[in-house]
Structure 1
Amino acid sequence: MQEKIKEIADRVHELRELSDFTVKDMAEYLKVSDETYGRYEDGTEDIPASILFEIAHKLRVDMATLLTGEEPRMNIFTVTRDGKGVNVERRKQYKYQNLAEKFIHKKAEFFVVTVEPKPYGTKPETNSHPGQEFNYVLEGSLKVYIHNNELILNEGDSIYFDSTYEHAMEALEGKSAKFLAVIM
Structure 2
Amino acid sequence: MKSSENALRQNPHAVREQREKNLEVAIGRQVRELRKRQRLTGADLAAQTGLSVGMLSKIENGVISPSLNTISVLAHALKVPLVQLFSGYEEERGCMHVKAGEGVEIERAGTRAGHQYSLLGHIGSNNSGVVVEPYLISLDDASDRFPAFQHEGIELLYMLEGRVSYRHGDKSFLLEPGDSLLFDADAPHGPEELIELPAKYLSVITYPQAR
* 2:169 match: 147
SS at 2:97 equivalent: coil
Q: Which string of whole-angstrom CA distances, capped at 9 and with x for unpartnered residues, describes residues 24-70 of structure 1?
A: xxxxxxxxxxxxxxxxxxxxxxxxxxxxxxxxxxxxxxx967x96x3
Percent identity, please. 25
Instruction: Choose which of 111, 133, 137 in structure 2 pairs with 1:92.
Output: 111
Assess, with a 3 A threshold, how the Cα gap between structure 1 residues 104 and 124 changes in structure 2: closer, same or farther.
closer
TM-superposed deviation, 1:123: 4.7
**2:104 is equivalent to residue 83 of structure 1:** no
Structure 2 counterpart of 1:78, one-letter code: M
Is it true that 1:172 corresponds to 2:201 in the alignment? no
C-alpha separation in 2, matches of 1:127 and 1:77: 28
Whole-angstrom distance in 2 between the partners of 1:124 and 1:100: 24
Q: What SS does the corresponding residue of 2:203 show, helix, strand or coil?
A: strand
- Indicate the residue corresponding to 1:162 in structure 2: 184
Q: CA deviation at 1:134?
A: 0.2
Letter in 2 for 1:105: S
8 A Cα contact 1:117 1:172, kept in partner: no
Q: What is the aligned length?
A: 116
Task: Sort the Cα spacing of 1:148 and 1:157 in 2 relative to 1 into closer, same or farther, 3 A.
Answer: same
The structure with the largest alpha-carbon Rg is: 2
Given the superposition, is the C-alpha separation of residues 125 and 76 from structure 1 closer, same or farther in structure 2, using an over 3 Å criterion? closer
Q: Which runs of 5+ in 2 are unaligned?
A: 16-91, 207-211
SS in 1 for 2:107: strand
Q: Give structure 1 regions of 4+ aligned residues with deviation exceeding 3 angstroms.
A: 72-76
